[in-house]
Structure 1
Amino acid sequence: MSFSDISIQELASAFMVLFAVIDITGAVPIINDIQNNGRKISAIKAALASYILLVAFLFAGDGLLNLFNVDISSFAVAGSLVIFVLAVEMIFGIPIFKNDGPSGTASIVPLVFPLIVGAGTLTTLLALRAEYHTINIIIALTLNIIIVYFVLKNVSLIEKVFGKGGAYILRKFLGIILLAISVKLFTSNLASLIDIFK
C-alpha cells in the first residue's frame, strides 16, 4: 500500500459503493425512532467503533478467507450477489435483511451492528479489495465515516433537509448504482475464476 496507488477514479467509485451500502441517510428515520424512544446515541462512539471494525476487517478479512481456503475472487463473486440483493431491497422496497442483532446500547446495537457494520458492508469491503488498491478503499471508508458522524450528530437537520421524499429518491438512485456495481464485480471476478480453470 503506497500513496502512488491513489486513483481518483478508484477512490470515487469505492466511496460511492460504500456510501450506498452503508446508506446512513436512509437510516435517518430509524435513528430518529431510536432517539425518540429515549435511547441516547453517541455519534463519536458509533463512528469510531464502526471505523475500527471495518478497517480491521479490511485487513484481517484475507486471513479469515485463507483459513477457509477461499480466494478473493470467489469471495468477490459471493459479495457481488449480496450487493445485488441489497440493491434489489433498496430499489423495490422488499425487506430481505433482518436487523436481528442482540439488544444493547443504541450506539452499538442496532446502530453499529447491523445498520453500519452489517453483512453487506463487510462483504462489500472484501469485494472491493479484489478490484481496487487498499489505500483508495481506506480513504473512501474514512470519508464515509466522517459523513456517518455528521449525520448522527445532526440527524434532525438531515431529516428536514432531505425530507421523506428526498430520502426515498436517494435510496432508489443508490440502489440502481449498487445494482450496476454488483454486475461489474460479478462479471470481472467470474472471468478471472474461469481463467484459473482453463
Structure 2
Amino acid sequence: MSQKFKIKYDEIQNIVVGEVPNYPKYATQILNLANQNAQGTRPKIVGQMSDLIQEFDGQTVEQWIEWYEERYPDARKNAADRVEDMIKKLKESIDKIDREMIDTWVKDLVLYKTFIGLRFQEAILRKVADIKGTTYRLAGKDDESKGIDGYVGFMPVSIKPTTYRSKSSLAEDIKVEIIYYEKKKDGITVYFDF
C-alpha cells in the first residue's frame, strides 16, 4: 500500500535546526520583497549556496555556521545591509501611497493590463505584418474555431506560446502557420518562420 505525506518547511527546520523564528504577520513577505529587490542573498553576496552545501562535510547546523562564516565572514552583514536599505526605501514608498494611487493602480491592473494581456495578439499581428510589408487583421469567431487567430496579409496564422511546441500530445491539429511568442519580464519575444 503506497502512502503519501507532506512535511512543512517549519517542521523540517524544527527537526534539523531545532528553532523556528517567530515573525510578526506579513514581516516575512515584506522581508522577501525587500531581499528580492535588493538582491541581498545573491551568490555574489553570500556565495553559491547549492555548491557550498555540497562542499560542507560536517553534520550539524553549528558546524555548518562555523564552516560557512570562515569562508564568508562578511556575507550575512552585507546581505542584511542591502535588505535594511531596501526596507527603508519601501517604507518611504509606502508613506506616499494614498487612496488615489491605489485607485489608479487597481484601474491599471484590472482594466488596462487585463485588456493588454488579452489583446497582445493584435500587437503581434501588427508587428509581423509590418516586417512582412503587408496588412493584418484579427480572426472572426468562425476562424477562431479552426485555430486561426488572425491574418497576415491573406495568410491565416495561429499565435501560440513557445511552450506549445513541447506539448506533443495536444489534440489540436493546426493547419496554418504558427507565430510563437514568449512572455518576458519586459515584453514579448516573437518567433515565426514564414
Answer whether TM exceeds 0.5 for this pair: no
Larger gyration radius, structure 1 or structure 2: 2
- Kindly indicate whether structure 1 or structure 2 has the higher relative contact order, using CA contacts under 8 Å at least 6 residues apart: 1
- Normalising by the smaller structure, the TM-score range is under 0.3
Structure having the larger proportion of residues in strand: 2
Normalising by structure 1, report the TM-score: 0.27
